[in-house]
Amino acid sequence: MMKWYVIHTQTGAEERARAGLESRIATTELKQYVEEVVVPTEQVSEVRGAKSGSPLASFSPVIF
């Protein structure tokens, strides 16, 4: 059974932290201890003027 860990990051740096963590896992052979790295996001609808969009937004600056 795997354990859960939460990493707090700076806002907007979640993907960069995820990539760095995955790189470190690969180079130090920790793959047996880490099953996956997840950055929780949600779809957000924005309407500005006549345009609408759905960018991804992070829940908070954390990585699971």
- Taking the whole predicted model, whether its pTM rises above 0.85 is answered as no
pLDDT tens profile 17-38: 999 999 999 999 888 888 888 8
State the CB neighbour count (10 A cutoff) for residue 17.
Answer: 18
pLDDT digits (tens, 9 = 90+) for 43-59: 776 667 666 555 555 55
Residue positions counted in the chain = 64
3-state secondary structure of 16: helix
pLDDT > 90? residue 3: no
Task: Report how far residue 21's alpha carbon sits from residue 24's, in angstroms, rounded to the nearest whole number.
Answer: 5
Contact indicator for 22, 46 with CB cutoff of 8 Å: no
pLDDT score, position 2: 79
